[in-house]
A and B are shown apart, each in its own frame.
Chain A
Amino acid sequence: MQDKNLGLSSILFNRSVQGIFYQIVTLALVILAVLYIVDNTASNMVARGLASGFHFLGVESQFDIGMTLIDYSPTSTYFDSFIVGLLNTLLVAGLGISIATIVGFAVGIARLSSNWLIARLAESYIEILRNIPLLLQIFFWYFAVLRALPKPKQSLEFADSFFLNNRGLFIPDPVFGESGTLILYSFIAAILISIGIAVWSKQRQNKTGQTFPVFYSSIGLLISFVFLSMLATGFPVTFDYPELKGFNFKGGIKLIPELVALTFALSMYTASFIAEVVRAGIQAVSLGQTEAARSLGLNPNQILRLVIIPQALRVIVPPLTNQYLNLTKNSSLAAAIAYPDLVLVFAGTALMQTGQAIEIIGMVMGVYLFLSLMTSIIMNLFNRFMRVAER
């Protein structure tokens, strides 16, 4: 096709030669920019007398943190403060994801309800919450609602065991007695037996076509096993109830108001997005599927469980994990109401004290990057696994 006598011009206009040339130029520009930034940074750091490297992680932090899930004191190291912040972030993300999923699915299904009023209510919930900035919602719940609550003495109470006041939310703390492990074992045994029943029933159905109520029998097994083991051991689970002592509550589990406000705002906000995801997923299953299932003689429950949900989930799960990731990243707004999460503790306090901006912000960004890369890897695996088998 090409002329054998390649002149200079034909080399210049050759597609692959051009491609290599463009790539070399791009790479050179990027490397130059990086070198420029590195050089500037190095000279700036020398000029300002800033230390570099990760030695500071082993140094005593000398600051306290309001809420810690592990032992931590001002004598702990900066690395410990990193772990404390990370755990607090994961805690609020975990709580937020569970609540947002429940509320989001409920609202998403309500949005499709045949009941006109319920559908409109769900729609207003979605349209109001997702069009107001999250930070504003966090501020509202924290400053306007929780901080304005009464003092411990006049706290709002529920069933004499849940107390809400301006110091936080106090809930009972379950304490397991010595034989408490037996309950755990019987719980695990019930789950194993249920799995056995499910496998057996599947095999039997494949052979004979007879079905077995796996769901109800598993529920029955779980409840009866746990109840019987409790009865046998004489109810070893007690609750440590919060009690008003002096000016504050003692005992129970204390959830600080920052945590309550942040979890609440995050989960309500994300729920409005999850609701839309769920709605889109259910609507993506065509009506023909329902009709076909009905003509096969499946009952409404079976249609939902065996036909609609599996297909809707294929559409729902990828954007749902995206929302989970968004919630985790949004939990960094904690810094604005002083909930001690990773950003506030590490990129805030620790950065102020050490001045090592590059290392600290690099570590914090690394954590979030790691989380999102893991999520997208899992998502890709899921998509490969769930892909519709096409002819």
Chain B
Amino acid sequence: MNTEIKDKIEVTKPPIASIGVIGWLRKNLFSSWSNTILTLLGIYILYSIIPSFISWAFIDASFVGSTKQECSKEGACWIFIKENLKLIFYGLYPSEELWRINSMYFILLVCGIYILTPNLKYKGWVGSFLLILFPILSVVMFSGGFGLETVETRLWGGLFLTLVIAGVGIVLSLPIGVMLALGRRSKLPVVSLLSTIFIEIWRGVPLITVLFMASNMFPLFMPEGVNFDKLIRALIGVMFFSAAYLAEVVRGGLQAMPKGQYEAAQAMGLSYWRMMALVILPQSLKMVIPAIIGSFIAIFKDTTLVLVIGLFDFLGIIQFVGTNPDWLGFSHEGYVFAAAIFWIFCFGMSRYSQNLEKKLDTGR
């Protein structure tokens, strides 16, 4: 009997308007009057931006050629970027020495890929090489010595300089930041007070004043006759500035550590430094990796400020080539290109940190 009834009842399909593409559209775009208006507004915004941008940047743009005259009037003139590419990427670095930069890029790339590939051995060694030997090697390769021709830092520029400043800021500021964070959390009042003052002063002022200070006041602080490079002064400024921000991030991680971890480590008879190095820091740093990468992104974007003290970083050089009389009037192309490169770096880092956050979430 049951089967008879079942046969008689036809399975009614859901109404066509609530499934598939139409259903999705109705649910997500046209569910009510106000939603429909918003959707139309959104379509209008897209319509007014995207087609004109695409035709400017790609369809009407000129890619082939080597002079300004070969550019079309309507579209972007990417020839401008192409012709100045060496300047934009390397600054005034001598052409015959470019292999030095490129080979370091290559080493960095290989090591980076090695570390990012899952399930490989000796990652710790490659990581320590990148953090300790690689910077020393870079100094020699970039500035010269040991038989290599000396290249003064005033010739450094472009994306290369941006990466150098960001890299130094990132690599050196992390240990200082960790020390400052430990200092601020210390039970010794003098140490904690000094660390707090140091952190709050650097965090309270804009980077631009730090750079002004680095370029105007550092020379006064040094003994007479000691005169160090403008780039190094800027690097010191950037380093302390980002160390203060990282210190606060790390402190957040230290505070989030359950008290039981400290107590357990002490019960095992570990000294302060061994407790920190073996128990507390590994766990709390892991917890704040996304925030640390967030600070790295901020440092990377902030490196553009060095142009106010006369260093030609990536953005500085884009500004500079735009004032070249042969290439006047192409600032749009320059800015769009710079924005695209910066965006790729920063967006890539932030996506990587989101992935890492998921992967590292092993606690629960």
Partner of B206, one of A118, A144, A330: A330
Least CB distance from B309 to A in Å reads 10
In whole angstroms, how far apart are the Cα atoms of A148 and B342 in the complex? Answer: 24
Given A19-B187, A22-B188: A132 touches B212 (CB 8 Å cut-off): no
Q: Is B204 an interface residue (CB 8 A)?
A: yes
Show 20 A/B contacts (Cβ-Cβ < 8 Å), sorted by A.
A27-B194, A30-B194, A45-B220, A115-B29, A115-B31, A115-B35, A117-B43, A118-B38, A132-B342, A132-B346, A133-B315, A135-B307, A136-B338, A136-B339, A144-B332, A333-B208, A357-B216, A361-B216, A369-B204, A371-B204
**Are A343 and B212 touching (Cβ within 8 A)?**
yes
A368 touches B209 (CB 8 A): yes
Contact string, B213-243, partner A, CB cutoff 8 A, digits 1/0?
1001101111110000000000000000000
For residue B295, CB closer than 8 A to chain A, the reply is no
Q: A118-B38, A135-B305, A144-B331 are in contact. Are A23 and B189 (CB under 8 A)?
A: yes
Q: How many residues of B contact A (CB 8 A)?
A: 55
Question: Which residues of B are found within 8 Å of A335, using beta-carbon distances?
Answer: 208, 308
Beta-carbon contacts of A124-137 to B below 8 Å, as 1s and 0s? Answer: 00011001111111
Judge whether A140 and B339 touch: CB under 8 Å: yes
Given A131-B346, A333-B305: A139 and B209 interface contact (C-beta under 8 Å):
no
The minimal Cβ–Cβ distance linking A341 to chain B, given in whole angstroms, is 10
* A139-B200 in contact (CB<8A): no
A30 to B191, CA, bound (A): 10
Name B347's contact: one of A23, A127, A143 (CB within 8 Å).
A127
Contact across chains for B204 and A368 when beta carbons are under 8 A apart = yes
* Additional A-B contacts beyond A22-B188, A115-B39, A133-B301 (10; CB < 8 A): A23-B189, A26-B190, A41-B221, A114-B28, A131-B301, A132-B343, A332-B208, A336-B308, A369-B200, A372-B200
Instruction: Report the minimum CB–CB distance from A29 to chain B (whole Å).
Output: 10
Give chain B residues whose Cβ lies under 8 Å from the Cβ of A37.
Answer: 221
Does residue A289 face the partner (Cβ distance < 8 Å to B)?
Answer: no
B283 contacts across to A, CB distance below 8 A: none
Q: Is B353 an interface residue (CB 8 A)?
A: no
Chain B CB within 10 Å, residue with most, of A26, A37, A117, A329: A117
A286 within 8 A of B: no
Q: Are B45 and A121 interface neighbours, CB within 8 A?
A: yes
Taking beta carbons and an 8 Å cutoff, which residues of A are in contact with B?
A: 19, 22-23, 26-27, 30, 37, 40-41, 43-45, 47, 113-118, 121, 127-128, 131-137, 139-140, 143-144, 148, 329-330, 332-333, 335-336, 343, 347, 351, 357-358, 361, 364-365, 368-369, 371-373
B42: Cβ under 8 A from any A Cβ: yes
Residues of B182-214 contacting chain A, CB below 8 A: 187-191, 194, 200-201, 203-206, 208-209, 212-213
Give the residue among A47, A139, A330, A335 with the most B Cβ atoms within 10 A.
A139
State the CA gap A136–B322 with chains docked (Å).
Answer: 14
B153 interface hit (Cβ, 8 Å): no
In the assembled complex, the CB of B332 is this many whole angstroms from the nearest CB of chain A, namely 5
With A115-B28, A133-B315, A134-B301 known as contacts, the answer to whether A47 contacts B224 (CB < 8 A) is yes
A131 touching B190, Cβ below 8 Å:
no
> DSSP majority for the B interface?
helix
Return the contact of A40 from the options B208, B221, B342, B350 (Cβ within 8 A): B221
What distance in Å separates the Cβ of B108 from its nearest Cβ neighbour in chain A?
A: 21
B304 within 8 A of A: yes
Taken together as a complex, chains A and B put the C-alpha atoms of A113 and B38 apart, in Å, by 10
B60 surroundings in chain A (CB, below 8 A): none
Query: Could you tell me the distance between the alpha carbons of A44 and B221 in the complex, rounded to whole angstroms?
Result: 8
Task: List 6 tightest A-B contacts by C-beta distance, closest first.
Answer: A131-B346, A116-B28, A372-B204, A329-B206, A23-B190, A133-B301
CB distance from A282 to the nearest CB of B (A): 18
Interface residue? B1 (CB, 8 A): no
**Known A117-B29, A133-B301, A351-B216: A368·B347 in contact at CB below 8 Å:** no
Task: Please indicate the chain B residues that have their CB under 8 angstroms from the CB of A27 in the complex.
Answer: 190, 194
Shortest CB–CB separation between residue A143 and chain B, in angstroms? 5
Q: Are B342 and A133 in contact (CB under 8 A)?
A: yes
Q: Which residues of A contact B217 (CB under 8 A)?
A: 357-358, 361
Bound-complex Cα distance A128 to B344 (A): 10
Q: Of A27, A116, A368, which is in contact with the most chain B CB atoms at under 10 Å from its CB?
A: A116
C-alpha spacing A113/B39, complex, angstroms: 11
Partner of A114, one of B35, B189, B304: B35
Residues of A within 8 A of B297 (CB): 131
B291 CB, nearest partner CB in chain A, Å: 13
B204 / chain A contacts, CB cutoff of 8 Å: 365, 368-369, 371-373
Task: Report how far A133 CA is from B45 CA in the complex, Å.
Answer: 24
Distance, CA A22 to CA B190, complexed state (A):
9
Contacts of B43 in A (CB 8 A): 117
Q: Please give, as numbers and ranges, the residues of chain A lying within 8 Å of B29 by CB-CB distance.
A: 115-117
